[in-house]
Amino acid sequence: MKVYQVLVEYVASKLNRPFSYVYNGDIPLYSRVIVSFNNRQCVGFVIDIIETDSLDEYQKKTGVIIKNIDQVIDEEPLISEELFSLAKKVADYYLCPLISVILAMLPPSLKPNKSSLHGVKVAFDTYVEALPGATFDNLTVRQAEVFYKLNQGKILKRDLSKTIVENLLKKNKVRLVNIERNRLKLESDKKYQLHELNDEQKIAYEDFISSDDKVYLLYGVTGSGKTEIYLNLTRYYLERNQKVLILVPEIALSYLMVERFTSLFDKVAVLHSSLSDGERYDTYRNIKKGEYDVVIGTRSAIFAPLDNLGLIIIDEEHADTYKQEDNLPYYNALTVAKMRLINGKLLLGSATPSLESKARALKKRYHELRLTKRVNDISLPECEIVDMSDYHNIDRNSFLISKRLRELIKDNLEKQEQVILLVNRRGFAPFISCKSCGHIMKCPSCDTALTYHKDINKLVCHHCGYEEDMILTCPKCHSSKVYKSGFGTERVVDETKKLFPEARILRLDSDISKRKNGIKSVIDKFSNHEADILVGTQIVSKGHDFPHVNLIGVVLADIALSLPSYKANERTFSLLTQTIGRAGRRNAGKAIIQTYLPDNFVINLAAKQDYDTFFNKELRYRHLLQNPPYTYLTMLILSSEDEDFLVEKMDEIKKYLLFHLDINQVEILGPSTMFINKYLNRYRRKFILKYKDFSLVKDTLITLQDIISSQSKLQLTIDVDPEQDY
């Protein structure tokens, strides 16, 4: 008798254990089943099988009555033993339910939840093929013509006359064959050839393949040719029958990587959230079947079901998009990559490595490889800082574009060169206010201002996605003095059009990414010089190689500095450095940084592209405040629909933490209000724990999870290694 250990689909810490069921037949491990749980049917995931001689004895021993599995969904495992082992490591480290990790690993139609049962399935194309031994007897002229073609090879049924196919079937000349169709077609008309590595690249490449170390940091200035090393290493591993996984921080960069890799290698797959459910379903299954040797994708692709994985590459490793912050599990793809390494190697690439990675390289925990020069020895862009608080710099026709930036844009357009303008905020106006009473339009379920999006004429919450039509009068005092405050990418596009009506302008931000092939379309047009100016958020700052861009303009460099994160300086430095690096890839370029903080050390060092000085200076601040890499952090987020109840509970939890944690080894900060105090109709408070060893807090947090999970009015979210306050 087999007893199946099943995780149910509900993501809750109190249900984070397997439940026992029996079934009259064999069920593969790591497959989905339908079970009855708490008097209703749900989807479960089989994680273990226990052999027993007697079901009665087993029930007496466990003290529970074991129910039958109602239905088996899958005929084969959905994940491998290696991926299940990884899921357990992730769940253990991030203190989240194991089922939440498995849900994150799988595409929508294969997830162990009810919604997957109505998802896409295998798509088939129907072909017509000639039956072996069938002759031309008893065929009309047209039927014989088609039958002759079918003897050369099968043909899609939809490409043939319906009547002729029906007649050939009746005469037993042909048969229909269903063949699985892959809904995602990766096609590239661009031909990319491997370039001979320069001296620095050769040294880095040889150092990587000859060393026995596991984790490497490839620190190379913008334009130094890191991608060329990725390509050469991929070829090296494929020649040794090992597979390669490449992570990029933005969907936009996956298109660029895919174009280069598909032109050089045959079996390349892509995984990211912009694929349709059908495309993700097909791609996941085909990767699992071993049909691909290279997978390129964003954060969640770290769970791609590749076997014999020899190399993981994480490009732009400093990017905050590698951290999952929307829902459980709150994992970082870089951390998971290190967990996944068994026999392979991990390569982290960046022009501005995270302070944690650079510090580990200095301590020899990571093997550092360095590229100090741009390919072909082209100099880094010359950068100017424009003080926007000095009225002499303000153009009277624009409060967004300075006189100097306008002058340089005009000069570039006359030379038929391209321009990129960075605005790290999407939409048209960050908030809408009433001049009469001061009322600000806010999201009804979040404590945040609604952003006006001109292209859809709606007010949008950038946190929960709530939308409503743009207002003409104030809902509070009914005044018509409604004012659009601040600016985002849409407003900069409008302003730029007014200043340069002859210019062709494109926009690239996450709103564009929601459209099917939206990002690829914009990048292709700009790469083909079908536009003169590209206005975008941080999507434009990473990895792109636009040969005709000789001017970069940062419309306002101060925005990220004010964000509530110990990484605010680092993020601002990286964003500015990476963006400036998009200019002058073929000739000497220029960059303009507009700011109200012209003396800020972060902005000045970014303008000089001086990473080493920034690293040393910022590291001293981190040491002073005992922030990573000198400590580890965990953020506890508590939420409730009742704010008074939440405030009352904070005191109890603080006492609990003080009693159970050693305050000489663990610093407890809080409780404090979140940057976004209310989110999805729940009020929020937080604690931050600082420590040097996770074991100092782990058991206490697990117990706290169990205590709070029994309280219906209070929810606890644990974010291990948080990147920011949100």
The 3-state secondary structure of 218-239 reads EEECCCCCHHHHHHHHHHHHHH
Q: Are residues 372 and 384 in the same domain?
A: no
Query: What is the structure's pLDDT at 585?
Result: 67
Residues 117 and 43 sit within 8 Å (Cβ to Cβ): yes
* CATH code, domain with 98: 3.40.1440.60
Last residue of a domain, one of 552, 583, 612: 612
Instruction: Report percent pLDDT > 90 for the chain.
Output: 69
Instruction: Report percent pLDDT > 70 for the chain.
Output: 99
Residues 634 and 718 sit within 8 Å (Cβ to Cβ): yes
Residue 465 maps to a domain: no
User: Under the phi-then-psi rule, with left for phi > 0, alpha for psi from -120 to 50, and beta for the rest, what region is 721?
Assistant: left
Residue 442 maps to a domain: no
Beta bridge partners of 535: 421, 507
Q: State mean pLDDT over 512-519.
A: 76
Q: State mean pLDDT over 610-637.
A: 95
Residue 45 main-chain phi, psi, to 5 deg: -130, 120
Last residue of a domain, one of 89, 118, 147: 118
Query: What is the structure's pLDDT at 187?
Result: 66
* CATH code, domain with 653: 3.30.70.360
Q: Are residues 45 and 15 in the same domain?
A: yes
Beta bridge partners of 295: 245, 269
Q: State mean pLDDT over 258-264.
A: 88
Q: Are residues 362 and 389 in the same domain?
A: no
Interval 167-217: pLDDT, tens: 999 999 999 999 988 888 776 666 778 889 999 999 999 999 999 999 999
Residue 671 maps to a domain: yes
Query: What is the structure's pLDDT at 726?
Result: 43
Residues 263 and 190 sit within 8 Å (Cβ to Cβ): yes
pLDDT tops 90 at residue 283:
yes
Residue 503 maps to a domain: yes
Q: Are residues 211 and 347 in the same domain?
A: yes
Query: What is the structure's pLDDT at 180?
Result: 87
Q: Are residues 495 and 599 in the same domain?
A: yes
pLDDT tops 80 at residue 377:
no
Q: State mean pLDDT over 269-288.
A: 92
Interval 544-599: pLDDT, tens: 778 889 999 999 888 878 777 889 999 999 999 999 988 876 677 899 999 999 99
Q: Are residues 334 and 281 in the same domain?
A: yes
Residue 297 maps to a domain: yes
Query: What is the structure's pLDDT at 130?
Result: 94
* CATH code, domain with 591: 3.40.50.300
Query: What is the structure's pLDDT at 543?
Result: 67
Residue 189's alpha-carbon distances to 3, 265, 524, in angstroms, are 54, 14, 12
CA distance linking residue 556 with residue 562, whole number of Å: 12
Q: Are residues 363 and 382 in the same domain?
A: no
Query: What is the structure's pLDDT at 610?
Result: 94
Q: Which residue has the higher pLDDT, 65 or 105?
A: 105
Q: Which residue has the higher pLDDT, 29 or 182?
A: 29
- Residue among 683, 686, 681 at smallest CA distance from 718: 686
Q: State mean pLDDT over 388-395.
A: 92
pLDDT tops 70 at residue 85:
yes
CA distance linking residue 527 with residue 260, whole number of Å: 14
Q: State mean pLDDT over 346-350.
A: 97
Those residues whose C-beta lies under 8 Å from the C-beta of residue 312, and which sit 6 or more positions away, are: 244, 245, 246, 247, 302, 337, 340, 341, 344, 345, 346, 347
Residue 211 maps to a domain: yes
Q: State mean pLDDT over 455-482.
A: 89
Residue 155 maps to a domain: no
Q: Are residues 390 and 367 in the same domain?
A: no
Q: Are residues 226 and 262 in the same domain?
A: yes
Q: Are residues 565 and 418 in the same domain?
A: yes
Total tally of structural domains belonging to the chain: 4
Q: Are residues 412 and 510 in the same domain?
A: yes
CA distance linking residue 519 with residue 540, whole number of Å: 10
Residues 488 and 426 sit within 8 Å (Cβ to Cβ): yes
For residue 240, name the pLDDT band (cuts at 50, 70, 90).
very high
Residue 701's domain comprises 632-720
Q: Is the backbone peptide bond immediately before 353 cis, with ω within 30 degrees of 0?
A: no
Last residue of a domain, one of 376, 405, 436: 376
Residue 191 maps to a domain: no
Q: Which residue has the higher pLDDT, 61 or 7?
A: 7
Average pLDDT, rounded, for the chain: 92
Q: Mapped to the 3 state alphabet, what secondary structure does 412-449 carry?
A: HHHCCCEEEEECCCCCCECEEEECCCCCECECCCCCCE
For residue 541, name the pLDDT band (cuts at 50, 70, 90).
confident
CA distance linking residue 379 with residue 373, whole number of Å: 8
Residues 300 and 321 sit within 8 Å (Cβ to Cβ): no
For residue 710, name the pLDDT band (cuts at 50, 70, 90).
confident
Q: Are residues 419 and 288 in the same domain?
A: no
